[in-house]
């Protein structure tokens, strides 16, 4: 019985320590005052899918609004159409942000262009279409850096031709100096580095649905001690999973640190005080 009691105490202690390890980032950000840490680093405001808090996400209207608001960078998502054109849309399916149905990859560009990508947000945006990556780069024309996030289809997964298609478009726009590429999928980053090594690359970790536990379970992050590929310029991390020590460690490794998606001034201030280099937000004109 004595051995069993000792084993039970050990297991309880182990569970407590494990929970503390998992929950530390969340508790840290819950209790640290928003203005309690000073920083001299300039924090960039990165427009998440454009100014998506005030215009339909990933549309030309949203990117134009972000430019008007003075966003430091623009972020967008791409999938491939059935005929292999990089189109700017977050979801692999059409229902949430258009009047279409089914998967993006099931439609040629001409069919995708017939869809309304604005009315779901507000009637004043009726008639906004799904833009191509080429159209967005034409609109921006170097006025702000553009972060291109490579997505994947939920059924077919990784798009084998994505990197080559995007590299060709960036070259056509002579945009290597103002385009970045990011993805959760390491293969995309490896391919982009091979095809266009001058374009900065960023690795994403964990979706907003995963929470702090998922941050540590991500095998790619190795319990917060990520060893990045030598070519990476930065990491894009869910904001509730970050602490000052993690940000400092990544800076010491020569990496930029971006956090997503932060939409209220209090949490923006916390991210600034943690020392992140960029805040991805739906409201790029927000005053933190």
Catalytic residues: 48, 90
Among candidate residues 124, 87, 128, 129, the one with its CA nearest the CA of residue 107:
87
The two tokens of residue 200 are 């900065």
Residue 21 structure tokens: 């390890």
Tokens 């791409």: give the residue: 78
- For 65, residues 6+ apart whose C-beta sits below 8 A from its C-beta are 50, 51, 54, 55
- CA–CA dist 69, 249 (Å, integer): 32
Rounded Cα gap, residues 48 and 284, in angstroms:
8
Residue 183 to residue 207: CA distance in whole angstroms: 12
How does strand 44-48 pair with strand 201-205?
A: unpaired
Find all residues with CB under 8 Å of 157, minimum gap 6, and list them.
Answer: none
Decide: 163 and 183 in contact? Cβ < 8 Å: no
Which residues make Cβ contacts (< 8 Å) with residue 141, sequence separation at least 6? none
Beta strands, E only, 70-229: 73-80, 86-88, 146-150, 179-183, 201-205
75 beta partners: 48, 147
How far from chain centre, in Å, is Cα 201?
12
70: tokens are 């003075």
């Amino acid at each position: 019985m004595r051995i069993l009691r000792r084993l039970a105490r050990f297991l309880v202690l182990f569970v407590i320590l494990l929970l503390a390890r998992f929950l530390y980032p969340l508790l840290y950000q819950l209790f640290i005052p928003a203005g309690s840490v000073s920083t001299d680093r300039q924090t960039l405001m990165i427009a998440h899918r454009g100014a998506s808090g005030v215009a339909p996400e990933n549309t030309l209207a949203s990117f134009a609004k972000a430019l008007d608001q003075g966003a430091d960078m623009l972020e967008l998502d791409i999938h491939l159409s059935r005929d292999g054109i990089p189109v700017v849309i977050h979801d692999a399916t059409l229902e949430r942000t258009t009047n279409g149905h089914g998967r993006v990859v099931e439609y040629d560009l001409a069919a995708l262009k017939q869809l309304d990508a604005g009315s779901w947000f507000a009637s004043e945006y009726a008639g906004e279409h799904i833009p191509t990556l080429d159209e967005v780069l034409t609109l921006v024309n170097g006025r702000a850096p553009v972060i291109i996030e490579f997505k994947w289809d939920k059924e077919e997964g990784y798009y084998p031709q994505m990197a080559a298609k995007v590299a060709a478009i960036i070259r056509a726009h002579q945009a290597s100096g103002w385009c970045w590429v990011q993805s959760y999928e390491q293969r995309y980053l490896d391919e982009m580095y091979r095809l266009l090594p001058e374009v900065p690359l960023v690795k994403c970790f964990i979706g907003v649905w995963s929470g702090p536990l998922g941050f540590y379970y991500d095998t790619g992050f190795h319990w917060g001690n990520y060893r990045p590929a030598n070519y990476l310029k930065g990491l894009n991390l869910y904001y509730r999973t970050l602490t000052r020590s993690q940000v400092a460690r990544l800076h010491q490794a020569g990496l930029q640190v971006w956090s997503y998606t932060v939409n209220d001034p209090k949490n923006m201030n916390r991210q600034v005080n943690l020392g992140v280099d960029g805040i991805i937000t739906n409201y790029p004109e927000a005053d933190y």
